[in-house]
Amino acid sequence: MAGHVVKRAFKYRFYPSDAQAAELARTFGCVRKVYNLALAARSEAWTLRRERVGYGQTSAMLTAWKQTAELAYLNEVSSVPLQQALRHLQSAFTAFFAKRAGHPRCKSKKRSRRSAEYTTSGFCCRDGVLKLAKMSEPLHVVWSRPLPPGARPSTVTVSQDRTGRWFVSLLVDDPGVGPLPVTDTAVGIDAGLSSLVTLSTGEKIPNPRHERRDRARLAKAQRELARKAKGNGANRAKARRRVARVHARIADRRRDLLNKLTTRLVRENQTLVIEDLSVSNMLKNHSLARAISDAGWREMRSMLEYKASWYGRELIVVDRFFPSSRLCSACGTIGDRMPLHVRTYMCDCGATLDRDVNAANNLLAAGLAVSVCGAGVRPQRNTPGGRSATKQKAHGASRENSPSRRGRSQGTPLRHG
């Protein structure tokens, strides 16, 4: 991190005039059109001629499209977001060929995110005034927090969510983000549903269940939407926005809580140990899918990853098959599987264990073993019947951004209890 300046996005809400809203709506439509045309051209070239078309060729195509009568309206908006759409498509294909993502799909007018990205040639930001290309008046931005001193945005992204709210995101270099003072504290973090997270210190962060709190309001809005005649009517559009507002309220509150929680954990601890949860597989459990989605485990892990990188902390991820709940943190005995409603149990050694605190302590121990000794540590553990066996307590743990074990370990499968 020494000498490295972090790029950080600052997001603000703004209120466009009617003319600006119309101009931005046209820009969103043109960005979507150019993206879909380029995607179709690249897909057709590969299907018919096994020819790969790159960004340079699609950029030349864009120039030709603007000269046709059918697509002449592309000249009415700034060319910068249109070029950025082609770059985004190139990035999507790069990720596809590297097998990091699926094949790019066409953008939809109703379902896709409405956004346009401007580079430095497409905007002017100075002294708290932001002006976009092709617009005579600056945007009315609510500067809810200051930009870093002397910051100059490299890109500006304008977007509109499903509720109709307008946002502008400025990407800047933030020299104020850097490694925090080194501490000797470490914490194991066990994600759950009854408690959002349980720490190895014994602290439990309650799960606010944002979606459950607004479930009645969401159901009422969805019923009203279902009663509206299908089509492009104004009443159906209003009902759809009411549903979107409830969803946005839930998502905003969840994101705010996770941001505050992850920032606190990263600031207080030098080493953080979490479990590599397969959230997509867990969502197949229809009894718990709604609660798991509401908890936001995947978003929390993502926040921990980039904040640990920002502030010079170490994030260790333990393999998902590590039996953190069934392994006694006092004697090392691995117990039998337990149903989820069992939150406290007694080990054969006589220790009374809180399931979540026990799991957090085991995660911390496994993570510290890897941090000190490296992956591959296999301490001897005893089975419930007293038979000695080699159990992988720390072998399943790995440092973040290093290859992790995805399959079962040899011998008895060790799954999360």
- Active-site residues, by number, are 190, 275, 356
b/e map 122-160, b = 16+ CB within 10 Å:
bbebeeeebebeebeebbebeeeeebeeebebebbbbbb
Q: What's the rounded Cα separation, in Å, for the pair 207 and 296? A: 10
Pair type for strands 141-142 and 6-14: antiparallel
Mind giving me the DSSP string for 326-352? TB-TTT--B-----TT--EEE-TTS-E
Tokens of 380: 């001897």
Burial of residue 329 (number of CB atoms within 10 Å: 0-12, 13-18, 19+): buried
3-state secondary structure of 186: strand
Residues 192 and 207: beta-carbon distance below 8 Å: yes
Strand blocks (E) in 175-304: 186-191, 195-199, 204-206, 271-275
